[in-house]
């Protein structure tokens, strides 16, 4: 048995030695880079003018499908949806809280490759005084006329993650809707704000939350 194993080893070495005379070629490959994706704040989310004490919370309601009363409208969101969804009746209004306030949805622009697919992720924001759970929708372009939607972006129901397509050269609308800008999409966010301590009247409070966008 040992002798047979030695013969087999000798045969393998001989076979490998023949490959040393094989032809070698230099192969060329090509690749194309795409534009880096960025996020630009257009309007920061604002919950000013509220009366909150520890344990109080209220909502800046935003549509999660582009058709609700808390929607900024297809024109503003630059979507050609085929429905010409108008600005909702309660856009930028607070509910379930004390004090009318002067709220504003946060609007953020994604800028990247024309027609590129990106994953958008949002996470909650907290500090020692205030907690914010953001929610809203992000423009999703359908590569054609009247195929755009505002897709749900909600920490509570989707783990804050959704995949969308940025506007491409073929994205258009036909009903007086918004005009897509190639390589971009808009995010509109409101959400729930809760006081975790007694807040001082007239004092500003800043809460950081995260929006991440990746190819």
Asked if 90 and 61 touch (Cβ cutoff 8 Å), the reply is yes
Q: How confident is the model at residue 8 (pLDDT cuts 50, 70, 90)?
A: very low
Please state, in angstroms and rounded to a whole number, the distance separating the CA atoms of residues 80 and 173. 4
Q: How confident is the model at residue 10 (pLDDT cuts 50, 70, 90)?
A: very low
Strand, coil or helix: what is 77? helix
Q: Give per-residue pLDDT as tens, 168-200.
A: 999 999 888 999 999 999 999 999 888 888 887
Nearby residues of 184 by Cβ (< 8 Å), 6 or more positions away: 78, 109, 110, 111, 112, 166, 167
Asked if 165 and 147 touch (Cβ cutoff 8 Å), the reply is no
Q: Which residues of 49-60 are buried (b: 16+ CB within 10 A; e: fewer)?
A: ebebeeebbbbb
4-8, 50-54, 87-91, 199-203: the lowest-pLDDT one? 4-8
- In the predicted structure, residue 3 carries a pLDDT above the cut 90: no
- In the predicted structure, residue 18 carries a pLDDT above the cut 70: no
Please state, in angstroms and rounded to a whole number, the distance separating the CA atoms of residues 102 and 108. 19
Q: Give per-residue pLDDT as tens, 72-126.
A: 999 999 999 999 999 999 898 888 776 656 789 999 999 999 999 999 999 998 8
Q: Give per-residue pLDDT as tens, 127-175.
A: 888 899 999 999 999 999 999 999 999 887 777 899 999 999 999 998 8
Locate the domains of the chain by residue range: 37-214
Question: Across-strand partners of 94?
Answer: 60
| pLDDT the model gives residue 106 | 94
């Amino acid at each position: 048995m040992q002798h047979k194993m030695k013969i087999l080893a000798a045969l393998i070495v001989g076979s490998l030695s023949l490959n040393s005379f094989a032809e070698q070629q230099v192969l060329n490959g090509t690749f194309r880079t795409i534009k880096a994706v960025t996020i630009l704040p257009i309007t920061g989310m604002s919950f000013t003018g509220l009366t909150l004490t520890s344990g109080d919370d209220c909502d800046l309601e935003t549509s999660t499908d582009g058709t609700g009363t808390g929607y900024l409208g297809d024109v503003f969101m630059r979507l050609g949806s085929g429905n010409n969804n108008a600005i909702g009746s309660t856009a930028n209004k607070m509910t379930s809280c004390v004090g009318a306030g002067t709220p504003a949805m946060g609007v953020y622009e994604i800028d990247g490759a024309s027609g590129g697919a990106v994953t958008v992720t949002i996470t909650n924001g907290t500090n020692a005084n205030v907690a914010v759970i953001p929610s809203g929708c992000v423009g999703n372009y359908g590569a054609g006329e009247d195929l755009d939607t505002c897709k749900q972006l909600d920490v509570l129901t989707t783990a804050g993650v959704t995949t969308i397509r940025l506007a491409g050269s073929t994205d258009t609308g036909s009903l007086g809707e918004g005009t897509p800008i190639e390589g971009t999409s808009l995010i509109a966010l409101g959400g729930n704000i809760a006081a975790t301590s007694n807040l001082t009247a007239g004092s500003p409070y800043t809460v950081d939350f995260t929006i991440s966008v990746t190819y």
